[in-house]
Copies of this chain bind each other. A is one copy, B any other.
């Protein structure tokens, strides 16, 4: 594959993302039906060069800021939210290296990512404590299962968490997926986000060398380190938003090009029906707040990310508030638009040939990552007394 592509020499990652989105869109309906691993499309992503987008210039990456990275996630999600998730989570793993890792680890792992065109996957689900790390002389032995491991199938490297019983705490580490004893199971069977490769990863006496441990068990996380969950949450928000935008665009196009005016409407074209226009306006008023909030949160997150170790807990908390706003608004927009779009497009638009139900199925599955009612409660607490969300894997 040509280096020019792989190193994203294009002056405009947005254009690259849009072209990639077009290629993904061409097969998205069919691949949603099929499910499973999208080997070929993951290669398209790799070849686009976008995998190095968030890597600092000094390590050979494109050095993009977070608003730009999120913009590309959103563009891909409009076309194919499953692969956009895999893509976004790749950048999440890279962010983890920067937030948790030593300077040496950052240099080594990020340069390797550029050089070897690595694709990263996730095996870090902190609520699943079945994977256990037992200390050895030169690292740890990993045993157990890790569920909801997005992007793990087909990943070159994984970020993982594992529970250490000696200190009753979790470590965070990276590991090549090809490590003996690591098996990635393609057993994801949800009704949406079907190609996110979010299966179970199984560890059987897998050796984790000490220099791949980013955060040792029980290590108290810094404000900087806890920013990782905000990077992740804002990826979610942009995925939901991208799905909402994609659904909106589908409804718009269908209404303009194919929908029939209802016989009782008194107009010739569906797009001229005041009730249709009004409902489009209502959906627009769900979409725009999500866009504004996601953009706003990305700016704040980027600023906090760049503060590094200087980031205070309160500043981190304000990022969490902005991200929670973006996530809740995107959640609502995605769910409502992908469900209500059919009130606008009508019965014929439910034909399998369009695959329009995938918007709802994708956003419905993905928005269950953590409960919206607790996100709303967190915002309520902040609104009440200014207290920021406690840092967790979800807030």
Q: Is the interface of A mostly helix, strand, loop or mixed?
A: helix
Q: Which residues of A contact B (CB under 8 A)?
A: 127, 148, 189-192, 248, 252, 255-256, 262-265, 271, 274-285, 288-289, 292-293, 296, 325, 328-329, 332, 335, 339, 342-343, 346-347, 349-353, 355-357, 360-361, 364-365, 367-385, 392, 394-395
B278 and A376: CB pair below 8 A?
yes
A191 and B371: CB pair below 8 A?
no
Give which listed residue, B335, B364, B376, B392, contacts A350 with CB less than 8 A: B364
B281 and A383: CB pair below 8 A?
yes
Which residues of B have CB within 8 Å of A349? Answer: 368
User: What's the minimum C-beta distance from A147 to chain B, rounded to whole angstroms?
Assistant: 9
* Known A-B contacts A281-B377, A380-B281; A352 and B252 likewise in contact (beta carbons under 8 Å): no
A380 and B277: CB pair below 8 A?
yes
User: What's the minimum C-beta distance from A89 to chain B, rounded to whole angstroms?
Assistant: 15
- Quickly give the copy total for this chain: 4
User: What's the minimum C-beta distance from A395 to chain B, rounded to whole angstroms?
Assistant: 8
A293 and B284: CB pair below 8 A?
no
B252 and A384: CB pair below 8 A?
yes
Known A-B contacts: A285-B329, A292-B296. Give 14 more (CB < 8 A).
A190-B350, A191-B350, A252-B383, A265-B374, A275-B373, A275-B377, A276-B380, A276-B384, A278-B373, A281-B376, A342-B367, A342-B368, A347-B368, A347-B369
* Known A-B contacts A189-B353, A289-B329; A373 and B339 likewise in contact (beta carbons under 8 Å): no
Which residues of B have CB within 8 Å of A271? Answer: 384-385
Once the chains are docked, how many angstroms separate the CA of A288 from the CA of B392? 24
Once the chains are docked, how many angstroms separate the CA of A335 from the CA of B338? 12
Once the chains are docked, how many angstroms separate the CA of A329 from the CA of B282? 10
B380 and A278: CB pair below 8 A?
yes
